[in-house]
Structure 1
Amino acid sequence: MAALKRITSIEELAQAMEDSAHRPFLLFKHSTRCPISSGAHREFDAYLNHNPNEAVNYGVIYVVEDRAVSDAAAERLGVKHESPQAILVKNGQAVWHTSHSDITLEALEGILAE
């Protein structure tokens, strides 16, 4: 299983963005209060437990608990905040994103197989 790192500070977010120059970074924004987000989290976990791309770093922001970090990610990446949301980052730039019920094992396998 690929490691999923919880991002709890703006400094950790900045480091993940910087590291995306060398390894793509898939960011999952999760609301612990939303049943749709819980379903997306299950799909994300299924991807990580199935056959994840080991050349990618994986991170999660809990949007309720770490609102400032979530807002900073939206601003820095230029992607309107939604939760749940998955954002693929390369070279510090969002190159793909999706949200809600479009976060599926199949969608993640498709975009991360490239």
Structure 2
Amino acid sequence: MALIKLTSFQELDQLLQEKNSLILLKNSITCPISHEALQEYNKFATEQEESVYYLNVQEERAFSNEVAEKFAIKHESPQVLLFKNKNVIWHTSHWNITYKNLKENTNT
């Protein structure tokens, strides 16, 4: 399915109102670890029935910080957050963002 870029907390909040679950990658456009994580995330995204989402932390710093603050999850980049019923139920970062880890922990 599609990999969709989010640019505001309002977009994320609207999706959380509409969807039971959602996966979000917070990604850096300059970090080599983020580049690898994005490749793994893209591979994962191609097999999903639902869209998966990302944000670029350099372009959307306030949005990224708001996600960390509202869900009480320390900001890291790259970082994946799995939301269920409007709450973060799993998250991981850096080299732990692998296709295998995403498949195992998102039950897809």
Identity fraction in percent = 38
TM-score, normalized by length of structure 1?
Answer: 0.87
Identify the residue that residue 25 of structure 1 maps to in structure 2.
Answer: 22
Which moves more between the two structures, 28-37 or 73-82? 73-82
Instruction: Give the paired residue count.
Output: 108
Q: CA RMSD in A?
A: 1.3
5+ residue gaps, structure 2, are none
Deviating above 6 A after TM superposition, structure 1's stretches of 4 or more consecutive aligned residues are none
CA shift, 1:11, in A, is 1.3
Deviation by residue 1:83-108 (Cα, 9 ceiling, x = unmatched):
00000001111000000000000011
Matched residues in 1 for 2:40 and 2:18: separation?
Answer: 25
Equivalent residue in structure 2 for 1:48, among 28, 34, 45: 45
CA shift, 1:109, in A, is 0.8
Letter in structure 1 aligned against 2:87: Q
Equivalent residue in structure 1 for 2:84, among 90, 93, 100: 90
Equivalent residue in structure 1 for 2:65, among 67, 71, 86: 71
TM-score, normalized by length of structure 2?
Answer: 0.92
Matched residues in 2 for 1:4 and 1:78: separation?
Answer: 25
Label 1:83 to 1:34 Cα distance change in 2 as closer, same or farther (>3 A).
Answer: same
SS in 2 for 1:43: helix
